[in-house]
Structure 1
Amino acid sequence: MDIETANEWAKAMKALAHQTRLQIVGELLKETKCVTDIQDIFPASQANISQHLTVLRKANLVDFVQEGSQRCYYLCRPRLVKEIIALLGENEAVARKSKKDIDREKQSTVVSCCVGK
């Protein structure tokens, strides 16, 4: 992977590293939405929603069309977003485990040939 591609991926992943932005792109997977539509879904101010959309736009994940005084946002890379959300969904159960549960699982999966060395 070249440095430019790596930077593009890093920018996209960084943009999606916030729960509100993940939820916004999840909603945009369903259909194009204007800022006011998005604001109706999430408990945040229009300014805050606009800031999140700016981060997503700078990462080339979303863009908008101007409809009168409204900006209506859509996904630029819906396939990428679908795949990331699917990957996160597969690992949701892991994210909900406590450290104690994870440590217990580690102990139970130790290979017998490694025990006692």
Structure 2
Amino acid sequence: MMTASASFTPLTKQDVADSLGISIRSVENWINDGILPAPVKLGNRVYWHPDVYYGWLSQRLKTGSSTESQSEPSDVPEPVRRAPVSADKTVSHLRASTERKLARLQGRN
């Protein structure tokens, strides 16, 4: 029989997202990418045991020193970066798009 001091509250996706400061969708992506430990499914919900989650987080924070980030690639996905577009090209594209929309509204093709 468990005592009150030995009981725990399982962590939900929202709890994990809040503790990491990310969205629930990011939590799901990190699970799929193998960054976060997989949760346990109970019914139609998923949960982490606090010891498993906080153990993983502690390990990540301890090994995430500046020397590791310089020598090994990170498991955290890099944001998608687009090639820079010149301001002139952007302005001309927007202008052409606006003119096409105005022509459609005025009944011109």
Fold similarity call, TM over 0.5: no
Q: Which has the higher helix share?
A: 1
Structure of higher RCO (CA pairs closer than 8 Å, 6+ residues apart): 1
TM-score (norm 1): 0.29
